Structures are given as C-alpha cells and as structure tokens.
C-alpha cells in the first residue's frame, strides 16, 4: 500500500508530460516548416519587389521598396522579424490583393473546406463499402473490378477527369453547373456568414441559390471524391484482409454467426480506428491538394490562392498558406489521436 501511495502522485504528471512532448513536437514541426519554406522562398528566381513596383520602375524606387521589405537584412534576421510579426498575429500583406494575408485566407479557405468536405463524404461512403466488398470477394472478379476502379481513380490525372467531366456532364448533357461556385444570377446575392455557400444560402432562406450552389458543387466534389475513394477503398481492403485471416473470425463462423455479423460486427469494428486516421489524412490531402480541380473549375479557393501567390513570388501569402496547411494536418492528427481514445479503450 505504501508503494502505491508513493507512486500515485505521478499518475497525474504522466498525461502532462505527454501533452508537453506533443506541444513541443508541434512547435518544432511548425518552426521547421516555416524555416524551410522561408529559405526556399528567398532562393527562388522570383523577385517580390518587381511584383510590387513593376518592371518599369526606376532604380531608386526599387531600392526603397527593397529596404522596406527588409530584403537588405541577412536571411536569419528576416526570419526572426517574420516570427516576431507572426507571434502578434500579423502574416503581412499579400502582393496579389494588397489585403492582409489573414483576411485573404479567411476569405478563400471556406470555399475549399466546402469542396473537400463534400468530396471526403462521397469518398468515404463509397470507398469503405467497396473496400469491404473487395476483401470479402478476394481473388474473384468483384475484387478485380474494385481494384481496377481504385487504380483508375488513383492514377488518372485529376485535371483530366475535371475537363472530361465538364465536357460530358456540363457541355453535352447539361446535368451539372459549369465553372465557379454559383450561377451568375446569384453571384453576390447570398450574405456571407460562414463562407460556405450551401450553408449561407440555407441560412438566408435563398433556396434557388442553394440549388445553384449544389448544382455547381456536384461535379468537382465527385471528381475529388473519386480520388479519395480510390485511396480509402484500397486501405479498407487491406485492413479487412488482415482481420479476416485472424482466428477470432474463424471462431465466430464456427459459432454459427451470419457472414454479415462476422464482417460488420466483428472484423469491421476492429479496423474502424485505422480507418479514422486514413480518412483524416485523406481529408487533409484534399484541403491541400485541391488546386488542380480549383483551377479547372475556376473555384476561388485556398489552393488557387496559394498557387497564384507562389507564381507571383508573394512570400507573405505563401508562408501564411503553408502555416495554415501545417496547422490543418496537425489538427487532424490530434483529432485522430482523440478518436483513437474514444473508439479503442486500450489506448487510454
């Protein structure tokens, strides 16, 4: 008893130590990400001064803006100044728009969140059942069909799917909306609350605008969803095959349980925690990598903003966007850890 009493005070300190290590890892990861992006941005053959003053500016104007941006300082001094501004919540102004980077990101990120959220829902609802179906028909034609679909969705360039989708479903069949987030008749009519048009138009009670927004969202979300479905179905199939070869599955079948109960109640439950991580990472990848679909469909989102800023040499916007991407992935990983503890008591 005395030994237990002596060790009991450390029980509360252990979770604190774990969270302290996680926080340190998060800070170091973000610092490394920012430092690497900052250095790459400074050695790229793009001149942010020319983006501001234009190619026809005289030398004195160029040098004045060069000093105002702090580019005459050593690289490490520039980075320290940037971190100082960052701690005050200042990401600088974007060259592309002239607005604060935080304002621009808050404006464009909801459009990407809306697109990626619809895509991950479609990808999960299709990918998980297909992966389970393929695993339960291993080696048969059903399994081969699902694997071919997954390989196609994962391998074919996503911009090609986008262009073919516009050609077939918009130009020929007129089943979906074209480029943009909403029809021209409703552009600017929906009051901005969340920045996600489906939610904002529903809050405003403008159901015509809601239908138009959904009409424009279906095709790009489906194409992104096909891409995520390919990844999720492959991983689901792999996880299920591993579980279906375990002894407890054979025991459940010997006991007379139906195949449906064996698959969904026992085997699938044991891969649920792994699937949560896969879906979370796939969602983060959609938020970061939707740039090609956003370009094809003229979707004014985060990926298009980052690409335009990078081509312009607008490092304030690029650094702010990279920081947001890092925070998104860190947040999704923390969410996965929390869900692990909810669904798997052994990790508590």
Of all residues in the chain, the percent with pLDDT exceeding 70 is 93
Cα of 95 vs its chain's centroid, Å = 25
- Grouping H, G, I as helix, E, B as strand and the rest as coil, residue 93 is strand
Is the dihedral angle over the CA atoms 146, 149, 151, 154 positive or is it negative? negative
Of 130, 128, 144, 156, the C-alpha closest to 275 is 128
User: What is the reported pLDDT for 103?
Assistant: 93
The per-residue pLDDT for range 162-179, each reduced to its tens digit, is 999 999 999 998 899 888
Listed residue (75, 74, 105) closest to 90, CA to CA: 105
Compute the C-alpha angle 141/146/151, nearest 5°: 120
Report the sign of the C-alpha dihedral through residues 291, 233, 153, 178, in that order.
negative
Read off the pLDDT of each residue in 201-218 and give the average, rounded to a whole number: 94
The whole-number pLDDT of residue 1 equals 46
Q: What pTM was estimated for this model as a whole?
A: 0.84
Q: Which fold has domain 102-347?
A: MetI-like fold (1.10.3720)
- Could you read off the pLDDT of 228-267 as tens digits, one per residue? 999 999 999 999 999 988 888 888 888 888 888 889 888 8
Domain-by-domain residue ranges, the chain?
20-87, 102-347
């Amino acid at each position: 008893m005395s030994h237990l009493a002596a060790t009991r005070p450390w029980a509360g300190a252990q979770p604190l130590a774990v969270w302290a290590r996680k926080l340190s890892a998060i800070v170091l990861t973000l610092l490394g990400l920012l430092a690497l992006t900052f250095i790459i941005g400074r050695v790229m053959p793009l001149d942010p001064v020319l983006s501001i003053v234009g190619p026809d500016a005289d030398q004195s104007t160029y040098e004045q803006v060069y000093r105002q941006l702090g580019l005459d300082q050593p690289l490490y001094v520039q980075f320290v100044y940037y971190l100082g501004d960052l701690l005050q919540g200042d990401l600088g102004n974007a060259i592309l728009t002239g607005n604060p980077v935080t304002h621009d990101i808050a404006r464009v990120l909801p459009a990407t969140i809306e697109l990626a959220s619809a895509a991950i829902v479609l990808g999960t609802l299709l990918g998980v059942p297909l992966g389970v179906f393929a695993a339960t028909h291993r080696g048969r034609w059903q399994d081969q069909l699902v694997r071919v679909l997954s390989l196609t969705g994962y391998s074919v360039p996503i911009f090609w799917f986008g262009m073919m989708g516009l050609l077939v479903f918009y130009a020929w069949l007129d089943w979906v909306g074209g480029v943009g987030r909403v029809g021209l008749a409703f552009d600017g009519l929906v009051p901005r609350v969340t920045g996600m048009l489906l939610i904002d138009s529903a809050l405003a009670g403008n159901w015509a605008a809601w239908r138009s927004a959904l009409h424009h969202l279906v095709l790009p979300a489906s194409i992104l969803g096909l891409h995520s479905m390919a990844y999720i179905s492959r991983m689901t199939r792999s996880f299920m095959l591993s579980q279906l070869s375990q002894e407890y599955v054979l025991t459940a079948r010997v006991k007379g349980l139906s195949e449906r109960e064996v698959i969904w109640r026992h085997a699938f439950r044991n891969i649920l925690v792994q699937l949560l991580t896969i879906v979370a990472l796939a969602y983060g990848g959609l938020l970061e990598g939707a740039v090609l679909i956003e370009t094809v469909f003229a979707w004014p989102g985060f990926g298009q903003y980052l690409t335009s800023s990078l081509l312009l040499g607008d490092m304030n916007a690029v650094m702010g966007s990279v920081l947001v991407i890092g925070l998104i992935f860190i947040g999704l990983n923390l969410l996965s850890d929390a869900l692990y503890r909810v669904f798997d008591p052994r990790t508590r």
